């Protein structure tokens, strides 16, 4: 069987095209398609990035944005207004993570690693409105892909086990939300042999709750035609993109 090439064939990503988004990208903007493919081909998430607090933006998102910006992508604020009977009504300013113009056409990229679910609706609505203004606007959304939650759990489990073995249980406990700590302490008291498991589960729930952006939360919106009629490319980051450590760290 012939192996797929290009963006759709990249290992470690789950790629879904909506309204022929990928076909349009590869035929109308082949250089941009190759550019994005090369960026994602060289992009990895490292376990220390998952453990390290982001301070507002996670290290893995910063790294991906940096890779895009090296090839001319930039953050863009879009002010949206509607004119009704000569009266302007503002819908506020919306920020796109990464944006690139090609002649009169444009492509927008949103990265949703760990936001609240409503951010998906915001992104898709913005893509929809931009497409209404530009025939060849394509929206690309990069998010946590299928199966990545289990990898996040395994990463925190290894880290928590190491910290506890080194008598750093307080360091682990600090990553658990204030709301969950009492129940975790109660669980540990009842079954101390399972403390790594209890603490790891609480950390993942605290940082990556069920209401945060991930592939399974995005698909119902796509099934309900959110973002129509914008051509979309949805890219899920899968477990194969996670590596144990960063070279030089």
Residue where the block lists tokens 């022929």: 20
Predicted confidence at residue 188, as pLDDT, reads 95
Query: What are 168's two structure tokens?
Result: 């750093």
Range from 62-76, 94-108, 122-136 carrying the lowest mean pLDDT = 122-136
Query: What are 200's two structure tokens?
Result: 């790891």
Confidence of residue 85 (pLDDT cuts 50, 70, 90): low
Among 135, 155, 132, residue whose Cα is nearest residue 144:
155
Q: Where along the chain do its domains lie?
A: 8-145+214-243, 152-207
Rounded Cα–Cα distance for residues 128 and 232 (Å): 10
What letters, b where the CB count within 10 A reaches 16 and e where it falls short, cover 161-185?
Answer: bebbeeeeeeebbebbeeebeeebe
CATH number of 8-145+214-243: 3.40.91.20
Among 115, 114, 131, 118, residue whose Cα is nearest residue 18:
131
Residue where the block lists tokens 């203004």: 133
DSSP single-letter state for residue 212 = B
> When comparing pLDDT for 94 and 99, which is higher?
99
Confidence of residue 153 (pLDDT cuts 50, 70, 90): very high
Predicted confidence at residue 163, as pLDDT, reads 95
Mark out the alpha helices in 166-229 (DSSP H runs).
169-173, 181-190, 195-207, 215-223
Predicted confidence at residue 130, as pLDDT, reads 87
Helix/strand number for the chain, H first, E second: 10, 8
Q: In the chain, which ranges are E strands? A: 13-18, 45-46, 74-84, 87-102, 105-112, 138-144, 232-237, 242-243
């Amino acid at each position: 069987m012939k192996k797929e090439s290009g963006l759709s064939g990249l290992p470690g990503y789950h790629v879904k095209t909506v309204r022929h988004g990928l076909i349009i990208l590869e035929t109308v903007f082949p250089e941009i398609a190759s550019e994005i493919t090369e960026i994602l081909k060289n992009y990895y998430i490292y376990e220390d990035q998952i453990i390290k607090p982001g301070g507002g933006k996670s290290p893995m998102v910063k790294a991906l944005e940096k890779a895009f910006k090296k090839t001319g992508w930039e953050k863009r604020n879009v002010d949206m207004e509607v004119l009704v009977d000569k009266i302007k009504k503002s819908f506020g300013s919306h920020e796109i993570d990464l944006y690139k113009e090609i002649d009169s056409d444009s492509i927008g990229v949103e990265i949703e690693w760990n936001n609240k679910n409503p951010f998906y609706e915001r992104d898709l609505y913005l893509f929809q409105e931009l497409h209404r203004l530009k025939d060849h606007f394509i929206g690309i959304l990069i998010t946590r892909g299928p199966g990545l939650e289990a990898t996040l759990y395994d990463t925190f489990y290894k880290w928590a086990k190491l910290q506890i073995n080194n008598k750093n249980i307080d360091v682990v406990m600090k990553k658990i939300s204030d709301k969950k700590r009492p129940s975790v302490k109660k669980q540990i008291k009842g079954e101390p042999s399972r403390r790594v498991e209890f603490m790891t589960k609480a950390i993942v729930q605290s940082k990556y709750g069920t209401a945060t952006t991930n592939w399974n939360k995005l698909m119902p919106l796509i099934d309900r035609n959110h973002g129509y009629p914008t051509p979309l490319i949805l890219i899920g980051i899968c477990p194969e993109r996670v590596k144990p450590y960063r070279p030089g760290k």
